[in-house]
Structure 1
């Protein structure tokens, strides 16, 4: 689990590689746990600082603001690793990494309106994206959709590589 998270950060800018399902889902789980802890601490400290404000405590903003900053910095730091692991996961399933951009743009366009039909369509697009994240290695290549060019793949450390050695 922690090895996959280490690979997540090491491969933050490697887009021409592949990531297995385990390489993708362990970092997602760890990031959800970290964000949940940071947000919970932030919300609890905001509640405590509101109580301290009634007692005229002078440094009531320092603690919640520090956790807000930590949460924001952690979120910003995860942008490139999240994009790269998504691209690698799509490539491993047999879809071009550019499909990520298409899925995100479609979701962004569909959720920008107030129509419930557009919202439902965006939800369906997100479910399709989730299914692709869950597909096994080379699933689409083996079952005949299309075959992207993988001649220029870069070998990146992953859980798949350590099991074979």
Structure 2
């Protein structure tokens, strides 16, 4: 399991090849475990608030970039392009920017209703992406690379 986590960080910027399901899910599990342990240590140890914030943002940015690239490679293993992972990672950023620009629009009834509808649609989209990441990859060579199970 730790070998796959090491491979995850080595391939953190690679979006050209394919990745197996194991290469996607083990780092996801390790990220959850590391985050859980870090939050407990942050609660127990007297770490200055600014230092914990800096460590938090560095870890999150590194994890988001690496998770995006492994999701792209996972989609390549299935034979799909990187369009859905790109939408999956960019749409919350766009939503955050739009809400930050005009926070009064969200406080109205219509704005809140639109926000709820958009969040429900994003949840459905997230479940679709999750289902795609759980499927088997192509057994043979596809347009992205050879089968990673044969390597």
- TM more than 0.5: yes
SS at match of 1:75: helix
Q: Aligned-pair distance for 1:121?
A: 1.4
Map residues 80-99 of structure 1 onto 2, 5 A cutoff.
80-99=65-84
Unaligned runs of 5+ in 1: 50-60, 143-148
Aligned length: 135
Q: CA RMSD in A?
A: 3.0
Question: Given the alignment of the two structures, is residue 77 of structure 1 paired with residue 62 of structure 2, yes or no?
Answer: yes
CA contact (8 A) 1:39 1:71 kept: no
* CA contact 1:12–1:85 (8 Å) conserved in 2: yes
- 2:112 aligned counterpart, secondary structure: coil
Change (3 A) 1:110 1:126: farther
Q: 1:102 and 1:138 mapped to 2: Cα distance?
A: 23
Instruction: Give the drift of 1:31.
Output: 0.7
Partner of 2:105: none
Shift, 1:36, TM fit: 1.0
Cα 1:120–1:88 change in 2 (3 A) is same
Aligned partners of 1:43, 1:85: CA distance in 2, in Å? 31
Distance 1:93 1:40, change over 3 A: same
Q: Does 1:23 align with 2:23?
A: yes
Q: 1:118 to 1:70 in 2, by over 3 A?
A: closer
Counterpart in 2 of 1:137?
Answer: 137
**What is the TM-score of this pair, normalised by structure 1?**
0.67
Q: Which residue of 1 aligns with 2:102?
A: none
Match of 2:89 in 1: 104
